Structures are given as structure tokens and as C-alpha cells.
Structure 1
């Protein structure tokens, strides 16, 4: 016999309730700061999602180029007329795409990720991610002077954020999964899992902790695994295991590190001036960048795309001194225009090319000055890559590890550290910059790096520290109802005031003391409480301190709670789980300033 429809409905409803209870338990666990085990499970899913999206983006941005290029990124094979026309055609397509989208949905790239992390509780809009996926592919296919890591970071961050949003996880875990997505995307894009981890922690999350590191590491491993299943495990660049020949070369490296740091500082300052133009029409901006790139590409085709093929030539020492200097000047100009005017791509790839060409220049000159007893120009190119990336991004450790994983040459570590220190020192202290992403945020009048206290408060959700021992009561209630309310042993009483804009909070101890005094007075007067009508107790009039309450969503972090308290001027917050702020069964707890202060002092 077939089961009755009502029986099937009950079973389905029972499974749904069990599923919701399991999700509710997971959400509560993830609201805590040290929710390592459930966070690792979510990091695993994020790594898979970010890895798949990044692989899909790379396939879309490379495979169609086989129709007009012998190999991906080999734009030098195109005739001059197409080197001129292709970036302009791509700019027109990008302008048409952006014209059809609302201005609020046009933001893409690493700067957008940081803005959403710092100012929007890490919630990434899906529409912006779709635009980044499509527009980033168009930018790379049309030879714009950008890299693929910017779109990868955006797509990875969106993967983690949207996954958390679908499961309605608390905002502190949304932030963690965004970092996991970034690490997985960088790892999948370049096959550099360790650099992906450090980039996520050093550039995006701005923190180092065991609880923060482990999920990010797992996500990076998964993202890299997904990429290797599709593209293989070979490093992007194949270079010999060359090394520094003599410590006498260290002063030369130091000198060129100062030059690289100065170039990075100049790039950031010019980018900061161009970035406000991103609020203007995308047609004018994109055509300006595309036309400039096309004109320069007629004579210097190496400026097209990220330039990984040219970068490999620099690492192998196959470029002449004049060619190196021309490429640096041309690539600096085209990348600055593309990045500053909002072409949806990244700056890490072009920065590696700039650093490699400058480093190779240093190697060629050193060989001319000191003879053949010095390291090859290719080794200098590796060091230049690390120095430029570190100075431009303000990410010294991520840059060092990226070069190590890209080249598989451990000999870069010792001299690379010296060059990174010198280049970052020049960029930060002589040019007063904090990295291209942070400076671009400021130039767009958006809040940048949070303080360490804000970082601390954003790591924990209100659900893990809120006070759950409370009761909801009307303004007036009978003495019997008040006594029953006190027997449930709440610490606080939320006074429901339907005709007032906000409810109020009363200590349960104040009501208990009032009831005790009332009973003592009645015994002294020998009154029979059963005689006559029982008087109602007005919770707004009995002696005690009352606090006004403002609503707060249960997914919020302690940082959001603090901001809400300051913004509303309320004495406390009631945490609600439902779609409305009504005082009903969806009220989950109470947050007071003392809860935030106690956590801060721990």
C-alpha cells in the first residue's frame, strides 16, 4: 500500500525541522570566535566553490583566445592593426556591459572586496560577481593591461560570502569564509597555495591567528587541488635553479630595490589621483584606457595582457637592455591607466612583469659593470618581481612566498628579503603609502583599514555572547502574572510597548524587590489580597532603572552591535531572528554595552 499523502507530509515536515535545527546549531557554533571545527567544514565547501569558479574564469578568459593567438597571452603574434584594434574593441564591449548595469553593481576587484569586508559585513552582491566573471574575461581576452588575480580574488571572496549568505550564517563567519575564498582563488589561479594563504591574511583579513589560519589553509589546499586537476601541477614559470654568486652583489640589489620602491610609490600616488574618475561614464574611461593601450601596443606589443610570456623571457635573461627599459615605461603607463580608470582586472600580474624587467635590467647592468662573476639577469628578475609586488601591495611575506612558489627556486629567499625590506621602506615611509588597495579605497572616500579593536569585535557574533535569560512582558500585568514571571528566573524583562517607538528593558531584580515590598506592606496592613479587584503593576512606574532598546539582527557581530548602540543612542539591543523586529518568539537575546566591554577586556 502507498503511504497516505498526510503521512508523507508529516515525514517531510519532520525532516525539514531536523534540518533547520541542525542549521540553527551550526549557526550558533559559528558565532563564537573559536568555532574551529564547523569553520573547517565550511572552509572545505568554500575551497571547492572558489576553486571551481576560478578555474571556470580562467578557462573563459583563455580558451577563446585560441581563435586568434597561438598561445594564451602571446599578443605579440598579432599584426600591428589588430594590436591597436583589439583593446579598443574590448573597451567598447566593456562600456556596453557597464552601461546596462546600475552604478552600484559596477564595482569589482580587490578594492571592492575590501570595501564589502570593512563596510558591509563581508556580504558580496551576486550581481557584481557575475559582472566580474564576464567583464574580467573580456578585459583579458582583449589584451587590456591587467592581470587575472584581481577577478580571481573577487570571485573567490564572493563564493565564500554567497555560500554563507545562502546558509544564513552569522556575519563573523561570513567574514571568515570570504578570506577562505580569497585564499582558494589565489591558490587556484596561480597554483600557489601558500601565497594564497598569506595574501588572504596579510592583505585582506589583516590578522594572524590559529583559528583564522587553519580554515584559510584548508581552503587554499582545496582550491589548488581543483586547479591542478584541470591544469596540472607544473609551476607557471620554468626557470633554472640559479642563485646569488657573491655577497658583493648585495649593495647593487639594495640600490635597485630603492628604485623599485620609488616606482611602486609613484604608481600608487598616480593611481590615487586617477581612481576618483571611476565615478564617471564607463564609456569615456574604458575608451581612454583601451585607446592608449592600443596605440602603445603598435610598437610595444608586450604591454598587452598580463605579460606572462614576456615575464618568462625576462626570467630566462632573453631580453636586451633597451627592450627592458621600453617595456617598463610602456607597461607602467598602460597598467596605470587600466587600473586607475577601472578596467575590471588586477595589478599583481603587471606588477610582476614590471619588477622582473627592472630586476633583469639590474642584472644586465651588473654583468656589464662587474663581469661574468655575478648572478644571471634572470635571478635579478626574480628578486625584482618580489620587491615590486611587496612594495605595491604592502604585502612583503605574500610577495616572497609567491615568487618562491612561482619559480620553485629557494635561492631567492635570502636576497629577496633584503630587496623587499628596502622597497617597502621606500614605498611606505618616503612616499607615505599603505599599499595600492588601501590608498584606492581612501581616494574613493571609503573607510579603509579597521583598527585592531574593530578587528577583534568583528571576529565574534552577538549570538555567542548575548544574554538569553530574559522575558517579554506587557507594560501592565497583574501581581499573580508578575510572580509567575519571576519564577522563571530571568535576569531582564523586556517591556513591550506597542504604542512606543522602542521597547524598554528592566532588571528582573527590580520587579522582584517591588513584589516583595508589596507583600510585606500587605501583611502589615493585614489586607486580604482576594478581596476586591487586584491592582495592575505598571512596569514603567515601579522603582528601577530602565533602558531603551534598539533592534539588532542575530547575524550581527559585536562590532555591528557597538555601532548600533552609538548610532541609536539606546541603552541596549534586543537580538531578533525573524524578518521583522517585533517582540515575539523570534527574539533571541539581549546585548548590553557591558557584554561588549567584557569581551574587549578578555
Structure 2
């Protein structure tokens, strides 16, 4: 009887599942629209809770008139607790959240686990409340994208729909975290998706607006910063804004290179010590905060002081230098937090410095230092994050003043150009690369509608062992229709050899050498499954190969298959298309 009841229950669940799947197929767009609205509202509430938890927890840890010892001990204790939680329970919640979200979108099919969402929420709250000077916006992006991903999978949406929900959740998070719904839309498209014409534009706008409305409902209409009216005093100021752009570009590059250099050093330590790495950031912040309390936290209160001309030049210089070092150390050591907010802080200090110096020498031709601090915020953001359109719209949303747009565009353009010239890859792309994840470039992302390598690739049935000799490889090539083969060892694919190179090596007396000894140790020609066929053809031509390994974006040594010149040409209608 029990078995019959269980069987009936299983049959009933299967029938319900089939009915739901049929409903999704019929009403796919309507379900996605309703889910977008729900995600916007839910993410808005979660981000508001995140903001309130961080602020109230921080107020308890740093009560008014508290002992200076707190400024030393709380960051150390907070980073130690957070480091253990990340190491023991939430390893995917480490870092900013933006590169991790992009990795989920392009390397994991939009999958972000519920555990990662929970870990990011609480670990980042601990980090920020303890005074670590990282931002909340990046972590909010991963939390919002994760909520969207979890809901999409739980409802049984198709994989491509789940993937499309990731930027929807990201935009909703930024809209609530920074109170700038238009900038949130641009950030999701410009930085996360990498395409301002993406098909999810409508959903991103809807989720951002819904989340922002939820923020207004729960926390009111108070702006993040009280900004004075901007006024251009003299056209010659445009030249000073260009100088600010130059300074912003160099500061952005210095910050990016320092952070990446320090993080590369931390990544070399044994994995069993990872839990303790964040303490290095906490100790650095604590020692600096002992002498300069304004260094603690992301510092939006002090940004407001600079915008309203209430901070001395000497203190701005000190905060610019120390904050740059503290943020780089905190992030590089593995604390959970973002660089979105710190980039605005650095820009405000830099702009305030330039504005004060200009006012000292040209008082009759220059506006208030606060105006330069405001433009400096966008300038540093454009140089560090490399999202210039987002920067312009974000500062406009903060000020609601059209007059600021032209100087902002001048300064942004100069900063972006210098940063791109001196630091070729954007910071989020470099951070992902350090973690072994190869994100697609913007150009490749914009070609997503074209036919992809996944449609032409075949199983890698023919491969060579790295322990095989040159002579042995030549014998194996004699029965192959191809002129190049992937070479693999215990890690996976490590390179590609050509028949022509093997023959040359054999003639030069290298016949007994192992393939691992003659391959270059660096990067090797490869493609990813989501690359366009055009990219594969270009790389084949550049490397003069007729077979390219198709590897994972998460692990470049993981061989997913191969794509051959023959298969590519067949997809373009040249020659017969072979079965694979």
C-alpha cells in the first residue's frame, strides 16, 4: 500500500512538472516579465537590508567616543572572522562580486549558488561594518545576480533564460545600492554584459526601476550625497578639467597595478593559509586607522565633506595616498568587498586636491573645489572600472545638473584614454584572469548572435600524450587526416603540435625528445565554445593550424573538444559537412 502511495505521489509530481514545463513553453515571455518585476522588488529589499545591517552593525562596533584601540582591533578581528567564513563555508563569496558575476554569466551558464548569495551577504556585511574600506556595490551585484539565478533555476526556466536573468539582478542591485537607476542599467549592460544593445535591455530597465522604487519606499528620497549647485566660472576651466583627467588616469593605473601586483603575491601562498590572508588587510587598515580615523569604511561621509568644501587640502592628500594603499591591500588579501565605492572616494579626494590648488593660483577663473571633487569621482571610476558611460550618467543622477556633463565628459575621456594605454586589460578582466577564468572581450560578446564554435566542434578523439616522443608522434600522424593535434598531460591540454614542426625536429635530431620538452611553456592557441566561428578562423590562420583545442573558460587546460578547419569551412558552406 505504501509503495503504491509513493508511486502515485511520484507520478503526480511528474505530471505537475510536465504541466509547468508546458506552461513555461507557452507563456515564456510573460513568465520572464513577471519574474523580472519580482526580482527587482526582492533584490531591492535585500539590498536595503544589506545597507541597514552594515550601517547599524558598524555603529555598534564604532560607538561615538569609543577607544582608539577599536580602530586597530576591530578591522583585524572582522577580517579574521570573515576570512575563516570564506575559507570554511563560502569560498565563492570572496572578492568584489563583479568579476565573479561575469564569470558566472560567461563560464558557468549563469549559475550562482544560494550558498554564495548568503555568504556574500553576511561576509561583506562583516567586512564593511568592521571598517575595511571596500565598497558595497560590487557585492550587491553578485547578491542580486545570484538571487535572479537561483529563482530562474528553481522555476525551471531554460538555461538561456537563467543566463539572461543575471544582468537583470545585477542592475536591480546597483539601482538600490547607489540610488542611481539609469546608471545601474548602463553598468549592467556596459560592464556585466558588455553590449549596450543587448536583448535584455527592457528587462534590465524594468528591474532597475522596480528596485529603485523599493529603495524609495523603504528608505525615502534622501540622496546619497548633498551636492551644491555646479557652476562653470570661465571656459578656461575646461583645461583644468583635462588636467584632472590626466591625474585621474595616472592614479587609476597606479591603483590598478598595485592591487593586481599585491593580489598576485597573495595567490602564491599555500591554499591552507588562505583563511588568514584577509588579516593582512585588516591589520593594515587598523594601523592606518589608528592615526587617521577617516580612513575607516568606504567613506561616503567624508566624500560629502569634500563635495561641500569642508575638508582641508592636507587631509585630502593623506587620505588619497593611504586609502589607495589600504583598499589595494584589503582587496588583494581576500576581504569581501568591492572597488566601486573606493574608486569614487579616491576620485573625490583627487578632484578636491586639484580644485583647491587651482583655486589658490587662479581664484577668479575657477569654480569651487567641490565641483572638481564631483567630476573627480567620475574620472577615477572611468579610469579604474573602465565604464565611462556609466560614470557620466551616475554623476548626472547624483547632481541632476546638466551643466556638469561637459567637464565630466572631458575629464572622463582623458582618464579613460590614459588608463587604457597604460593598463591594457580592465581591472575586472585581470582579476578574473588571475583566478584562471578567461572572460570574453567586449568585441566577442557583441558577436554572440553569430554562429559559435559549439556548433562546429567535435570530440577530441585524436590527441597526443605529452610523454610521447617526436618519432612516436610522427608515426601516429601518418594515419591522421589532420596536420596538427592537441597535446595533453595529467592537467589536460598543454599545447598543439604541427606535423611540419615534428618533421623539422626529427631532422634536427630531436626524435627521442618528449613532446613536453619541445612545447612552449606559455599560452597556446585555443578557442572557447562561445567564440564565433570567425574568431576560430582568425586564430587558425594566425597560428597556421588546422585543428584548435576548445577549452573551458574556467580552466584553460580542460579540453572540451576540438574544432577543425574542415568543420569551419563546412559551416560556411565550403565543402562537405562531416558527421562528428
Asked whether the two chains share a fold, i.e. TM above 0.5, the reply is yes
Give the Cα–Cα distance (whole angstroms) in 2 for the partners of residues 361 and 393 of structure 1. Answer: 21
Please state if 1:65 is matched with 2:58: yes
Unaligned runs of 5+ in 1: 30-35, 467-556, 572-591
8 Å contact from structure 1 (residues 107, 128) kept in 2: no
Give the Cα–Cα distance (whole angstroms) in 2 for the partners of residues 245 and 78 of structure 1. Answer: 44
Corresponding residue number in structure 2 for 1:311: 303
Please state if 1:91 is matched with 2:82: no
8 Å contact from structure 1 (residues 108, 129) kept in 2: no
Corresponding residue number in structure 1 for 2:413: 421
Deviation at 1:270, TM superposition (A): 1.6
Q: Could you list the per-position Cα deviations for residues 318-339 of structure 1 after superposition, in whole angstroms to 9, with x for gaps in the alignment?
A: 1111111011011111011111
Question: Using a 3 Å threshold, how does the CA distance of structure 1 residues 569 and 51 change in structure 2: closer, same or farther?
Answer: same
8 Å contact from structure 1 (residues 65, 141) kept in 2: yes
Q: Could you list the per-position Cα deviations for residues 105-152 of structure 1 after superposition, in whole angstroms to 9, with x for gaps in the alignment?
A: 656621211222221122112222221111000001100010111110
Corresponding residue number in structure 2 for 1:23: 24
8 Å contact from structure 1 (residues 51, 185) kept in 2: yes
Corresponding residue number in structure 2 for 1:579: none
Corresponding residue number in structure 1 for 2:43: 50
The alignment of Structure 1 onto Structure 2 pairs a total of residues equal to 469
Deviation at 1:597, TM superposition (A): 6.1
SS of 1:371 mapped into structure 2: coil
Give the Cα–Cα distance (whole angstroms) in 2 for the partners of residues 174 and 384 of structure 1. Answer: 37
Q: Could you list the per-position Cα deviations for residues 441-477 of structure 1 after superposition, in whole angstroms to 9, with x for gaps in the alignment?
A: 2233320234645554479999xx99xxxxxxxxxxx
Question: Using a 3 Å threshold, how does the CA distance of structure 1 residues 567 and 282 change in structure 2: closer, same or farther?
Answer: closer
Corresponding residue number in structure 2 for 1:377: 369
Alignment of 1:33-48 (within 5 A): 39-48=32-41
Q: What is the CA RMSD across the aligned residues, in angstroms?
A: 3.3
Alignment of 1:103-502 (within 5 A): 103=91, 106=94, 109-209=97-197, 211-277=199-265, 279=267, 280=269, 281-429=273-421, 431-450=422-441, 452-453=443-444, 455-457=446-448
8 Å contact from structure 2 (residues 227, 307) kept in 1: yes
Deviation at 1:290, TM superposition (A): 0.5
8 Å contact from structure 1 (residues 382, 403) kept in 2: yes
SS of 2:374 mapped into structure 1: helix
Give the Cα–Cα distance (whole angstroms) in 1 for the partners of residues 99 and 389 of structure 2. Answer: 20
Question: Using a 3 Å threshold, how does the CA distance of structure 1 residues 409 and 157 change in structure 2: closer, same or farther?
Answer: same
SS of 2:117 mapped into structure 1: helix
Question: Using a 3 Å threshold, how does the CA distance of structure 1 residues 171 and 411 change in structure 2: closer, same or farther?
Answer: same
8 Å contact from structure 1 (residues 268, 433) kept in 2: no
Corresponding residue number in structure 1 for 2:478: none
Q: Could you list the per-position Cα deviations for residues 456-507 of structure 1 after superposition, in whole angstroms to 9, with x for gaps in the alignment?
A: 4479999xx99xxxxxxxxxxxxxxxxxxxxxxxxxxxxxxxxxxxxxxxxx
Corresponding residue number in structure 2 for 1:476: none
Give the Cα–Cα distance (whole angstroms) in 1 for the partners of residues 375 and 307 of structure 2. Answer: 10
Deviation at 1:373, TM superposition (A): 4.1
Unaligned runs of 5+ in 2: 457-528, 537-549, 553-558, 574-580
Question: Using a 3 Å threshold, how does the CA distance of structure 1 residues 273 and 225 change in structure 2: closer, same or farther?
Answer: same
Give the Cα–Cα distance (whole angstroms) in 2 for the partners of residues 597 and 124 of structure 1. Answer: 36
Give the Cα–Cα distance (whole angstroms) in 2 for the partners of residues 391 and 176 of structure 1. Answer: 28
Q: Which has the larger radius of gyration?
A: 1
> Which moves more between the two structures, 329-338 or 165-174?
165-174
Give the Cα–Cα distance (whole angstroms) in 2 for the partners of residues 452 and 222 of structure 1. Answer: 31
Give the Cα–Cα distance (whole angstroms) in 2 for the partners of residues 308 and 104 of structure 1. Answer: 27
